[in-house]
């Protein structure tokens, strides 16, 4: 159905020119209907963005915790002139968590990228069994992240199969040793998300016009040259999409680590999300969490705005 | 629907089919390729296989105690029985909460969340694409996905407590609907973009109202896309852990959260957890296979099409 419609649109598009994309003339009742259509989304956005952000900003300037016995709107009673932000700047636990998150991102995302790229290259042409292999390779991505956490929790037990098949003693622990716990988490994340990289990169690779590849091959380019000089430069934007997507998701990582190690041993695998979780539920330091959350939010928004402006510039 | 069920055509950016240029390969490179593919499959299957077999292993085969084996030696359904009925042979401890509640909770909240996300996302993306109303909505919706949920959860938790949404089906559904709205919006936007506007304009000229055009012409055209969107968003909601952890306590705890609470005086209940993980993992894998063709589009917010 979709294929058919896109064919017709291709043949007709030339007649309409620029107006394609939205109605060339939207009447008054059309605009009215459109307003009704966006209303639920706008309402949800206001409900979940504007009001909560204001509340968070407000709370972050107080000492308020849910244990105060004071409703949140009376939090001004413990107004503290932004001391939370000062604490944040000198909170070693926060910076350590940020650093750990960055480390996971810097190791896991490149690993996923190169593995995904290699895998995608295997799938670039037709071969018997392609569909089956394709489906199997994609599976990890579909598994619930919490279940992935459980699977690797089981695998990395001292008495688990990894030690067993590597011939290591049960005392060789993965999840209770600070360094190895971090490695285990990275392995689990890589297992789950390499397929996403693979999927996106393969889409990019197949988008490289095949006549260019054929020409390069006829001119005697080796496989490696073709890959490096023809395919890679033509999938730059796809690579950017894949990496940005993974970086963002990796920064948010929670489920997997929470189930595998709960941030432990000690704080060895405590990323930003786990740090916030601990502050929220162990310390009940809600105002401080609000401040940290807002700081993270602002920095991320600045990065996103910068990235978007770069993209816009490239297009223009 | 037929188009839906046909997995990967290997095509991208709409025009390209799988490369027609077949590269002549030596037998050796083909062998290397298959070896690598088999290796990749082995790596993929290793953890899954371990969890699935674990689900069928009796207590004494869980750890190295009696030597680890890949296949259960005395395969048993005891773990599942324990989850569903709260007791099983050989275990003194009974389970006070069986899987029924969490399974139901997961189903209800994922479904309702999906309905909210898909309805709001479909309508608003149509309005943005066709009526050009609030074009900035697209980006602001996308921003919802940028932030770690925990960074913005404090006010949400306060609000949910205030409106009485904590540990209720509608409270969790509402937040699910909101966090998956960006996916629904962008996925539907790509499908609407593909509908030729000429068809709709022809219907307009023939005298149909805007609503009728949307409901009678456009919606049937994007039906396969809509189905994909529903399944995709459902997978996302089903996969959530964090939101359910924060916004439920007992009554509406979902499967993943329930899984992690399964500990008794006996210690870690590997077998039961594995059985539970197995049950929780099946629907998304199955649905994911159905929508394989559109996964790229969904996961990249329509930046790439397959």
Q: Name the B residues in 88-147 with CB < 8 Å from any A CB.
A: 116, 119-121, 123-124, 126-134, 137, 139-141, 143-147
Which of A130, A123, A107, A140 lies closest to A204, judged by CA? Answer: A123
The pLDDT of B30-48, averaged and rounded, is 93
Question: Does the CB of A110 have a partner CB in chain B at under 8 Å?
Answer: no
Domain boundaries, chain A: 91-284
Q: pLDDT > 90: what percent of chain B?
A: 47
Residue A161 with chain B: CB contacts under 8 Å: 50, 68, 70
Q: pLDDT > 70: what percent of chain B?
A: 89
The predicted pLDDT at position B247 comes to 93
SS (H, E, C) A50-70: HHHHHHHHHHCCECCCHHHCC
Residue B102 lies in a domain: no
Say if residue B301's pLDDT is above 70.
yes
Distance from CA of A266 to the nearest CA of B (A): 19
Number of domains in chain B: 1
Say if residue B15's pLDDT is above 50.
no
How many residues are there in chain A?
Answer: 316
Residue B92 lies in a domain: no
Asked if A170 and B19 come within 8 Å (Cβ–Cβ), the reply is: no
The predicted pLDDT at position B12 comes to 35
Asked if A22 and B130 come within 8 Å (Cβ–Cβ), the reply is: yes
The predicted pLDDT at position B266 comes to 62
Residue B284 with chain A: CB contacts under 8 Å: 142-144
Say if residue B201's pLDDT is above 90.
no
The predicted pLDDT at position A5 comes to 32
> Going by CATH, does the domain composed of A91-284 fall within 3.30.230.10?
no
Contact status, residue B299 vs residue A196, Cβ threshold 8 Å:
yes
The predicted pLDDT at position A12 comes to 35
Residue B220 lies in a domain: yes
Q: Which of A150, A199, A200, A287 to mutate to test the interface with B (most CBs of B within 10 A)?
A: A150
Positive or negative, the CA dihedral B174, B177, B182, B185 is negative
The pLDDT of B23-37, averaged and rounded, is 82
The predicted pLDDT at position B306 comes to 65
Residue B138 lies in a domain: yes
End-to-end distance of chain A based on CA atoms, in angstroms?
A: 34
Say if residue B47's pLDDT is above 90.
yes
pLDDT, tens digit (0-9, with 9 covering 90-100), for B138-195: 888 888 888 888 888 999 999 999 999 999 999 999 999 999 999 999 999 999 988 9
* Candidate from A144, A154, A308 with C-beta closest to B281: A144
Residue B242 with chain A: CB contacts under 8 Å: 254-255, 273
For residue B243, give its domain range.
108-267+292-299
Asked if A23 and B130 come within 8 Å (Cβ–Cβ), the reply is: yes
Which of A151, A237, A154, A136 lies closest to A194, judged by CA? Answer: A136
Positive or negative, the CA dihedral A62, A65, A70, A71 is positive
Query: Which pLDDT band, with edges at 50, 70 and 90, does B265 fall under?
Result: low
Radius of gyration of the CA atoms of chain A, in A: 25
Q: For residue A157, how many other CB atoms are within 10 A of its CB?
A: 22
Distance from CA of A206 to the nearest CA of B (A): 6
The predicted pLDDT at position A4 comes to 29
Asked if A146 and B44 come within 8 Å (Cβ–Cβ), the reply is: no
Q: Which of A11, A34, A84 to mutate to test the interface with B (most CBs of B within 10 A)?
A: A34
Contact status, residue B37 vs residue A122, Cβ threshold 8 Å:
yes
Burial A161-198 (b: 16+ CB within 10 A, else e): bbbbeeeeeeeebbbeeeebbbebbbbbbbbbbbbbbb
- Whole-number Å distance between alpha carbons of A261 and A166: 21
Query: Which pLDDT band, with edges at 50, 70 and 90, does B3 fall under?
Result: very low
Element housing B268 (H / E) = strand B267-268
Q: Name the A residues in 276-295 with CB < 8 Å from any B CB.
A: 276-277, 280, 286, 289-290, 292-294
Residue B66 lies in a domain: no
What distance separates the 2 farthest-apart alpha carbons in chain B? 77
The predicted pLDDT at position A40 comes to 94
Give me the torsion for CA of B97, B100, B106, B107, rounded to 10°.
-170
Residue B280 lies in a domain: no
pLDDT, tens digit (0-9, with 9 covering 90-100), for A65-106: 888 888 888 888 888 888 999 999 999 999 999 999 999 999
Q: Which token pair is A69?
A: 């016995």
Question: Does the CB of B227 have a partner CB in chain A at under 8 Å?
Answer: no
Concatenate the DSSP letters of all residues of A176-219 into one string.
TSHHHHHHHHHHHHHHHHHHHHHHHHHHHHHTS-HHHHHHHHHT
Asked if B195 and A9 come within 8 Å (Cβ–Cβ), the reply is: yes
Q: Which of B60, B121, B151, B293 to mutate to test the interface with A (most CBs of A within 10 A)?
A: B151
Contact status, residue A271 vs residue B151, Cβ threshold 8 Å:
no
Contact status, residue B137 vs residue A42, Cβ threshold 8 Å:
yes
Asked if A38 and B64 come within 8 Å (Cβ–Cβ), the reply is: no
Query: Which pLDDT band, with edges at 50, 70 and 90, does B43 fall under?
Result: very high
Say if residue B271's pLDDT is above 90.
no
Query: Which pLDDT band, with edges at 50, 70 and 90, does B264 fall under?
Result: low
Contact status, residue B81 vs residue B145, Cβ threshold 8 Å:
no
Residue B168 lies in a domain: yes
Distance from CA of A170 to the nearest CA of B (A): 8
Positive or negative, the CA dihedral A91, A92, A97, A103 is positive
Supply the mean pLDDT for chain A.
Answer: 85
* Candidate from B132, B156, B235 with C-beta closest to A22: B132
Q: Which of A62-71, B90-99, B106-115, B147-156 has the highest mean pLDDT?
A: B106-115
For A313, half-sphere exposure in the C-beta direction (CA atoms, 13 angstrom radius) is 6
Question: Does the CB of A143 have a partner CB in chain B at under 8 Å?
Answer: yes
- Whole-number Å distance between alpha carbons of A305 and B54: 47
Residue B300 with chain A: CB contacts under 8 Å: 200, 241, 245
Asked if B132 and A26 come within 8 Å (Cβ–Cβ), the reply is: yes
Asked if B260 and A146 come within 8 Å (Cβ–Cβ), the reply is: yes
Question: Does the CB of A264 have a partner CB in chain B at under 8 Å?
Answer: no
Question: Does the CB of A119 have a partner CB in chain B at under 8 Å?
Answer: yes
Spell out the per-residue pLDDT of chain A, length 316, in tens.
223 233 333 333 333 334 445 566 677 788 889 899 999 999 999 999 888 999 999 999 999 888 888 888 888 888 888 899 999 999 999 999 999 999 999 999 999 999 999 999 999 888 899 999 999 999 999 999 999 999 999 999 888 888 888 888 878 888 988 889 999 999 999 999 999 999 999 999 888 888 888 888 888 878 788 888 888 888 888 898 899 889 989 999 999 999 999 887 889 999 999 999 999 998 888 999 999 999 998 888 888 888 777 777 765 4
CATH code at position B175: 1.10.3720.10
- Whole-number Å distance between alpha carbons of B175 and B170: 9
Residue B146 with chain A: CB contacts under 8 Å: 248, 300-301, 304
Residue B287 lies in a domain: no
- State pTM to two decimals: 0.88
- Whole-number Å distance between alpha carbons of B237 and B93: 32
User: Considering only B88-102, B148-162, B279-293, which range has the smallest mean pLDDT?
Assistant: B88-102
Supply the mean pLDDT for chain B.
Answer: 85
- Is residue B25 packed enough to be buried (19+ CB in 10 Å), middle (13-18) or exposed (0-12)? middle
């Amino acid at each position: 159905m979709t294929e058919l419609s896109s064919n017709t649109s291709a043949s007709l598009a030339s007649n309409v020119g620029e107006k394609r994309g939205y109605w060339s003339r939207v009447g008054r009742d059309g605009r009215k209907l459109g307003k009704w259509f966006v209303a639920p989304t706008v309402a949800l956005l206001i409900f979940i963005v504007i009001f909560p952000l204001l509340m968070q900003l407000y709370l972050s300037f107080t000492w308020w915790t849910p244990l105060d016995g004071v409703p949140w709107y009376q939090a001004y009673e413990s107004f503290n002139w932004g001391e939370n932000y000062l604490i944040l700047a000198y909170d070693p636990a926060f910076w350590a968590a940020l650093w750990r998150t960055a480390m996971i991102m810097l190791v896991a995302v490149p690993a996923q990228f190169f593995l995904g790229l290699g895998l995608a290259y295997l799938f670039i042409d037709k071969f018997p069994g392609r569909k089956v292999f394709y489906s199997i390779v994609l599976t990890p991505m579909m598994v619930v992240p919490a279940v992935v956490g459980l699977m690797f929790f089981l695998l990395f037990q001292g008495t688990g199969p990894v030690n067993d098949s590597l011939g290591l003693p049960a005392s060789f622990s993965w999840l209770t040793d600070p360094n190895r716990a971090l490695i285990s988490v990275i392995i689990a994340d890589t297992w789950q998300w390499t397929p996403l990289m693979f999927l996106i990169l393969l889409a990019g690779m197949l988008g490289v016009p095949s006549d260019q590849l054929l020409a390069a091959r006829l001119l005697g380019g080796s496989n490696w040259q073709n890959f490096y000089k023809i395919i890679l430069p033509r999938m730059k934007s796809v690579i950017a999409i894949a990496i940005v997507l993974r970086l963002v998701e990796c920064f948010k990582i929670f489920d997997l680590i929470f189930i595998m190690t709960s941030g432990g041993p000690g704080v060895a695998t405590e990323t930003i999300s786990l740090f916030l979780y601990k502050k929220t539920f162990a310390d009940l330091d809600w105002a401080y969490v609000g401040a940290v959350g807002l700081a993270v939010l602002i920095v991320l928004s600045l990065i996103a705005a910068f990235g978007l402006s770069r993209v816009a510039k490239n297009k223009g | 629907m037929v188009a839906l069920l046909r997995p990967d055509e290997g095509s991208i950016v709409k025009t390209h089919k799988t490369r027609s240029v077949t590269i002549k390969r030596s037998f050796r490179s083909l062998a290397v390729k298959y070896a690598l593919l088999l290796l990749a499959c082995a790596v993929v299957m290793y953890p899954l296989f371990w969890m699935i077999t674990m689900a069928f292993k009796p207590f004494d085969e869980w750890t190295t105690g009696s030597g680890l084996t890949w296949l259960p030696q005395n395969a048993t359904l005891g773990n599942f029985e324990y989850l569903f009925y709260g007791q099983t042979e050989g275990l003194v401890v009974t389970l006070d909460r069986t899987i029924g509640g969490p399974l139901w909770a997961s189903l209800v909240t994922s479904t309702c969340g999906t309905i909210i996300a898909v309805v709001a996302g479909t309508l608003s993306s149509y309005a943005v694409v066709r009526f050009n109303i609030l074009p900035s909505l697209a980006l602001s919706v996308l921003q919802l996905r940028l932030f770690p949920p925990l960074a913005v959860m404090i006010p949400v938790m306060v609000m949910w407590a205030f409106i009485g949404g904590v540990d209720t089906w509608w409270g969790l559904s509402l937040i699910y609907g909101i966090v998956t709205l960006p996916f629904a919006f962008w996925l539907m936007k790509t499908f609407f973009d593909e509908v030729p506007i000429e068809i709709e304009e022809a219907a307009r000229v023939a005298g149909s109202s805007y609503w009728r055009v949307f409901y009678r012409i456009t919606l049937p055209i994007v039906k396969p896309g809509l189905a994909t969107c529903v399944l995709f968003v459902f997978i996302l909601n089903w996969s959530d852990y964090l939101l359910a952890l924060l916004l439920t306590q007992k009554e509406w705890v979902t499967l993943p959260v329930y899984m992690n609470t399964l500990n008794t005086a006996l210690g870690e209940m590997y077998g039961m957890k594995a059985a539970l993980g197995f049950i929780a993992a099946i629907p998304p894998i199955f649905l994911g296979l159905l929508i394989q063709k559109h996964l790229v589009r969904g996961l990249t917010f329509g930046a790439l099409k397959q």
